[in-house]
Amino acid sequence: MNTAIDDTTGGWRWFRRKRDHRISVAERAHIAAQGKALAMLVTTMHTNGHLDAKRFADMLALFGTVVSEDDRLQGAILASWADALEESLALAGT
């Protein structure tokens, strides 16, 4: 599935299909909520010394690249989650 970046949502990267169909508002909210929950979980695990959050974000981005070979939209979603995690780490100062 071909995807393209639609960066019109105030800094967050959202992805849409190159076709006329777009991801619905509910789907965008669902994807964003999952990414934020993942960022919160990983940041908490990092704070408690159980996980290196930067390394996890890098691995998630790499995994998104691998997945995008079969499904570009899924790869783009994983990449957006990695971005959300890296942004969370930057805001936390870690």
Span 14-65, pLDDT tens digits: 554 455 457 788 998 999 899 889 988 998 898 889 999 999 999 999 999 9
Domain interval for residue 65: 25-92
Long-range contacts of 8-12 (CB under 8 A, 24+ apart): 12/80
Position 7 in a domain? no
Q: Give the count of domains, the chain.
A: 1
Position 29 in a domain? yes
Position 10 in a domain? no
- Say if residue 11's pLDDT is above 80: no
Position 8 in a domain? no
Sequence-ordered list of residues with C-beta below 8 angstroms from that of 17, at least 6 positions apart, any chain: 1, 2, 3, 4, 23, 73
Q: Give pTM, 2 decimals.
A: 0.67
Position 9 in a domain? no
Position 19 in a domain? no
